[in-house]
Chains A and B, each alone.
Chain A
Amino acid sequence: MKPTDAAVTWIEEKPLGLAERLYLPLFVQGLTTTARHLVSPKVTVSYPEQRPKVGNPLIYRGVHRLNRDTEGRVKCVACFLCATACPAHCIDIVATDSPWPDREKYPESFAIDELRCIFCGMCEEACPVDAIELTSLLDLTGKSREEMIFDKEKLLSVYDMTKDSEPMKSASLGGTL
């Protein structure tokens, strides 16, 4: 668009008043602003000692967990929907015949490569039995790549760790499973 275009509305800059030309009010204004911030409460979170506040843990997409059912068994039915939905191909499931009568299959192994994961939450969306969920744990560290591949036990232990602070979303949303 050219500056001469009729659609361009030019706004005139206001001429400086006496106060602005004398600079003093602006000077005082600037200094009071910085001085106010100098003594105002700080927003820094001293991280390892002080945990950042997660807005709503129920919708936060952090480390995964594998939920347990009421009898303490893994909830997963090894349907592969999460692995299919995963855009990063980070979920690896080995299914086998279920030892329990209420389902046909269960995961013999269930591994998530947390380094490949993009934390999009598609697995959580896809899961028909609300077995896989993203917690609000946000500091995920490890000393090797192997360590960052979370197997079934690890994912179940994440559930054990977080079940009290973050109840299963299906329950809070009125789900049945």
Chain B
Amino acid sequence: MNALTPFLPTIAALVKIGLLVGGLMTAAAYLVLVERWMAAWVQDRKGPNRVGIPLTKIRLFGLGQPMADGLKIIMKEDFTPRHVDKVLYTVAPLVILAASLAIFAAIPFGSVLPPLGIPGLPDPVPFLVAPGLDVGVLWVFALSSIAVYGVLLGGWASNNKYGFLGGLRSSAQLVAYEIPLGLGLLGVVLAAGSLKLDAIMNAQAESGIWYAFAQPLGFLVFLVASFAEAARLPFDLPEAEQELVGGYHTEYSGIKLLLFLVAEFLHMVTAAFLIVIMFLGGWHLWGVTGSSQEVTWLGAFIRFGVLSAKIFGVILFFMLVRWSWPRFRFDQLMNLAWKVMLPLGIANLVTVATIEEFRPQLVAALGAGPAAAIALAAPWAVFFLGWIAAGMLTPSGTDNTPIRTHNMLDAERSLRGQDLVEV
């Protein structure tokens, strides 16, 4: 015992915060580079490959590009237009970035360290800023909604039609997709029996069956909804460049714009973290990481590496989809959310709840093996049935047939398919 002991948990938390925020900011900067590379490669270009170490001719495949990009945008004039609401205009980027970073307080970025044996520090030390938080998932979703608030504020405070439309679209889209997102999540929470993200990972590691395999429909719904939540193509309507200039950040420049862009990338990173933690097993990989809570130093870093690799893979998938897919129209977006994703999410939830409810009876009646097989097969059956039903019954497409007449009355008739009385 020495004078520092009471402060050790605080110091540990501060160290974790420092590592996490530093890592996230660097990651966001380099993800911009990765995004530009992916964009270039998909279009048969080479992408940024010139900027290396400053003042030398060493290029390093363009790895110096984030520094140049960051420096450029920081040096730009931070212009505040006259017509904006000054307070909200300044607060909006801060809100969105603070919320995007605070989300990571509850998101584990690895498994646990081996026991350090330092008195006053709880052992083992988890890779998590706020390990005591019992409602990690709720915290994540509450704060991601606050981030939406930043987008709305930015759009509103800009006092600009493009910005306003971007904010408006964003609010409708995010409200619509929070519901499938939550439904996809509820299945996982039900199965794992905990709202703590590290507990969800541990549950997958112990059973060895990732929730993506146990709840394919939930995974699908969650994946699509997280694309929409992160406002990535094909759901990037809040900032559709071709229609809205820049969407909610049209009026922003300089460092405020940078905060928005960083927050956007952090949303994508958050979405990737959640997908990996909740559905793709987190740090678990069969035969590599083991599943117990006792790890060696090497094991701890292998787990951290596996988690990071999976997250990077999901982010690459996000970026690849961006170039594979055209943007949805707004009505199609809403149709997809309310008519397809919501019912599918409910179907998944009902399936999972039923299985969890009757699992003890199944095990008692059939034995552990067949019960597990049924618990695995039933969600897949629901997955295929649900998907086919969604395709057959409620297509998210709409009737795009052009109106083939100049006569407005005929047009009305052909639209409504009924006789109208001529006035």
B17-60 interface mask toward A, CB cutoff 8 Å, 1 = contact, 0 = none?
A: 00000000000000000000010111111100000000000000
Within 8 A of B (CB), among A1-56: 2-4, 10, 13, 16, 18, 21-24, 27, 30-31, 33-35, 37-44, 46
CB–CB A37/B388 < 8 A: no
CB–CB B41/A22 < 8 A: no
Q: A38-B41, A42-B41, A43-B44 are in contact. Are A21 and B404 (CB under 8 A)?
A: no
* Residue in A10, A27, A34 whose Cβ sees the most chain B Cβ within 10 Å: A34
> Can you name the residue of chain B whose Cβ is closest to the Cβ of A22?
B391
Contacts of A10 in B (CB 8 A): 404
* Residue in A2, A13, A22 whose Cβ sees the most chain B Cβ within 10 Å: A22
Smallest CB–CB gap between B410 and chain A, Å? 9
B368-407 interface mask toward A, CB cutoff 8 Å, 1 = contact, 0 = none?
A: 0000000000000000000110011001010011111110
CB–CB A34/B324 < 8 A: yes
Contacts of A23 in B (CB 8 A): 391
Among B46, B321, B388, B395, contact of A31 (Cβ-Cβ < 8 Å): B321
Contacts of B403 in A (CB 8 A): 3
Q: How far is A120 from B44 in the complex, measured between Cα atoms in Å? A: 32
CB–CB A4/B406 < 8 A: yes
> Can you name the residue of chain B whose Cβ is closest to the Cβ of A19?
B391
Q: How far is A13 from B399 in the complex, measured between Cα atoms in Å? A: 10
Q: How far is A38 from B40 in the complex, measured between Cα atoms in Å? A: 8
> Can you name the residue of chain B whose Cβ is closest to the Cβ of A35?
B320
Smallest CB–CB gap between B131 and chain A, Å? 38
> Can you name the residue of chain B whose Cβ is closest to the Cβ of A10?
B404
CB–CB A33/B320 < 8 A: no
CB–CB A30/B404 < 8 A: no
CB–CB A16/B320 < 8 A: no
Q: How far is A3 from B404 in the complex, measured between Cα atoms in Å? A: 5
Smallest CB–CB gap between B328 and chain A, Å? 12
CB–CB A43/B325 < 8 A: no
Smallest CB–CB gap between B299 and chain A, Å? 33
Q: A3-B404, A38-B38 are in contact. Are A44 and B324 (CB under 8 A)?
A: no
Among A3, A33, A37, A44, contact of B406 (Cβ-Cβ < 8 Å): A3
Among B44, B387, B392, B400, contact of A13 (Cβ-Cβ < 8 Å): B400
CB–CB B405/A3 < 8 A: yes
CB–CB B392/A37 < 8 A: no
Smallest CB–CB gap between A39 and chain B, Å? 8
CB–CB B392/A34 < 8 A: no
Contacts of A16 in B (CB 8 A): 395, 397
A112-137 interface mask toward B, CB cutoff 8 Å, 1 = contact, 0 = none?
A: 00000000000000000000000000
Q: Does B323 have its Cβ within 8 Å of any Cβ on chain A? A: yes
Contacts of B325 in A (CB 8 A): 30
* Interface residues of A, count at CB 8 A: 26
CB–CB A37/B391 < 8 A: no
> Can you name the residue of chain B whose Cβ is closest to the Cβ of A33?
B324
Smallest CB–CB gap between B178 and chain A, Å? 22
Contacts of B324 in A (CB 8 A): 27, 30-31, 33-34
> Can you name the residue of chain A whose Cβ is closest to the Cβ of B234?
A30
Smallest CB–CB gap between B251 and chain A, Å? 33
Contacts of B406 in A (CB 8 A): 2-4
Contacts of B387 in A (CB 8 A): 22, 24
Q: How far is A109 from B36 in the complex, measured between Cα atoms in Å? A: 51
CB–CB B46/A34 < 8 A: no
CB–CB B44/A40 < 8 A: yes
CB–CB B44/A37 < 8 A: yes
Smallest CB–CB gap between A163 and chain B, Å? 33
Q: How far is A29 from B387 in the complex, measured between Cα atoms in Å? A: 18
Q: How far is A18 from B404 in the complex, measured between Cα atoms in Å? A: 28
CB–CB B401/A13 < 8 A: yes
Among B320, B392, B397, contact of A38 (Cβ-Cβ < 8 Å): B320
> Can you name the residue of chain A whose Cβ is closest to the Cβ of B325?
A30
> Can you name the residue of chain A whose Cβ is closest to the Cβ of B43?
A37
Q: How far is A2 from B407 in the complex, measured between Cα atoms in Å? A: 10
CB–CB A44/B391 < 8 A: no
Q: How far is A176 from B388 in the complex, measured between Cα atoms in Å? A: 78
Q: How far is A31 from B321 in the complex, measured between Cα atoms in Å? A: 7
Q: How far is A3 from B403 in the complex, measured between Cα atoms in Å? A: 8
CB–CB A21/B392 < 8 A: yes
Among A22, A27, A34, A46, contact of B42 (Cβ-Cβ < 8 Å): A34
Within 8 A of B (CB), among A73-109: none
Contacts of A40 in B (CB 8 A): 44
> Can you name the residue of chain A whose Cβ is closest to the Cβ of B388?
A22
Contacts of B391 in A (CB 8 A): 18, 21-23
Q: Which 3 A-B pairs have the closest CB atoms?
A: A30-B324, A21-B391, A22-B391
Which residues of A does B touch, CB under 8 Å? 2-4, 10, 13, 16, 18, 21-24, 27, 30-31, 33-35, 37-44, 46
Which residues of B does A touch, CB under 8 Å? 38, 40-46, 320-321, 323-325, 387-388, 391-392, 395, 397, 400-406
Beyond known contacts A4-B405, A38-B320, A44-B46: 11 more, CB 8 A cutoff: A3-B405, A4-B404, A4-B406, A37-B41, A37-B42, A37-B43, A38-B42, A42-B41, A44-B44, A44-B45, A46-B46
List 6 A-B pairs, Cβ < 8 Å: A3-B404, A18-B392, A22-B391, A31-B320, A37-B41, A38-B38
